[in-house]
């Protein structure tokens, strides 16, 4: 239970989709001018999303994700500062307090990370990580003095959330899979998700027309079946997650959108 609460609050289910074994990347140096460019209209500086985490019928915690402007540069390139905070609420603080903060500075043009910070406090268990992505050299340097090789375009735990929102869903067909790489815990992992169709989803703040996705899982991970985890994102240009639902051995956990502001586009997927 506490492992999964921390998982949702800290990473918005990135760990749930960490589906394959660590990768041994093939890489070559990439000139900064040749780094990827992602054309999208999914988000902008000023966006803020707030989610409520429920366990059964109880509110267990909340998570916020916010995009801020920054003067920080990555090899002279403009960046966006994303901040994710997850914390437990009410009675859950009594037996297992969680307060996690994640920050990434990702490329405004290419939506890939340059700097990543992770500060975790979960029931007294603490993690502190700082990563510097050397994108032109396909490397990550950690605050522990370690250097790791990574494939071009590798994401971190938070930038992956925003990059996923830029995926091309035009003319998408049921069963289509998307795959990209994420650097976490000093390793590169594949992230795979499968499109499952369109559904109307009702949460506390209304009903939304949504794209439904689920993970493509490897056996032996936290969840036994792929259908144990699903998530729904708005079927509009914002592509914001409305609901994440997971079945665990001792019940079910949901992450529901409860507040939003600063969206780049009208929330046209809201049907009532």
Delimit the domains of the chain by residue range. 2-261
pTM above 0.85, yes or no: yes
Enclosing H/E stretch for 95: helix 92-95
Q: Report pLDDT digits (tens) over 237-264.
A: 999 999 998 877 777 889 999 999 999 9
Contact call for residues 102 and 83 (beta carbons, < 8 A): yes
Q: What is the pLDDT of residues 66-116, one digit of tens each?
A: 999 999 999 999 999 999 999 999 888 888 888 999 999 999 999 999 999
Helix (H, G, I), strand (E, B) or coil at 52: strand
* Selection from 11, 48, 68, 15 nearest residue 238 by Cα: 48
How far is the C-alpha of 96 from the C-alpha of 75, rounded, in Å?
A: 41
Q: Is residue 217 classed exposed, middle or buried when 0-12, 13-18 and 19+ CB atoms within 10 A define those classes?
A: buried
C-alpha span between 10 and 215 (Å, rounded): 18
What mean pLDDT do residues 207-236 have? 79
In the structure, what pLDDT confidence band is assigned to residue 15 with cuts at 50, 70 and 90?
Answer: very low
Average pLDDT, the chain: 86
Is the pLDDT assigned to residue 224 strictly greater than 70? no
Please state, in angstroms and rounded to a whole number, the distance separating the CA atoms of residues 10 and 8. 6
């Amino acid at each position: 239970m506490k492992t999964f609460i921390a998982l949702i609050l800290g990473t918005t289910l990135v760990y749930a989709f960490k589906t394959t074994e660590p990768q041994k990347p093939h890489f070559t140096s990439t000139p900064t001018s040749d780094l990827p460019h992602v054309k999208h209209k999914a988000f902008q500086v000023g966006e803020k999303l707030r989610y409520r985490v429920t366990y059964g019928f109880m509110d267990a915690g909340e998570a916020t994700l916010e995009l801020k402007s920054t003067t920080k540069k990555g090899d002279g390139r403009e960046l966006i500062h994303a901040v994710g905070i997850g914390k437990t609420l009410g009675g859950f603080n009594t037996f297992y307090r969680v307060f996690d903060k994640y920050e990434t500075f990702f490329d405004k043009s290419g939506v890939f990370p340059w700097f990543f910070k992770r500060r975790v406090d979960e029931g007294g268990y603490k993690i502190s990580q700082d990563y510097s992505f050397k994108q032109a050299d396909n490397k990550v340097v950690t605050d522990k003095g370690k250097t790791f090789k990574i494939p071009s375009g590798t994401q971190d735990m938070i930038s992956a959330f925003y990059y996923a929102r830029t995926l091309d869903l035009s003319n998408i067909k049921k069963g289509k899979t998307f795959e990209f790489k994420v650097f976490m815990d000093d390793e590169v992992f594949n992230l795979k998700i499968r499109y499952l169709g369109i559904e109307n989803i009702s949460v506390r703040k209304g009903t939304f027309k949504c794209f439904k996705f689920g993970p493509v899982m490897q056996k032996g991970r936290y969840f036994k079946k792929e259908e144990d985890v699903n998530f729904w994102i708005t079927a509009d240009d914002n592509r914001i997650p409305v609901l994440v639902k997971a079945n665990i051995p001792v019940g079910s956990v949901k992450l529901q959108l409860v507040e939003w502001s600063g969206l780049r586009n009208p929330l046209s997927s809201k049907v009532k």
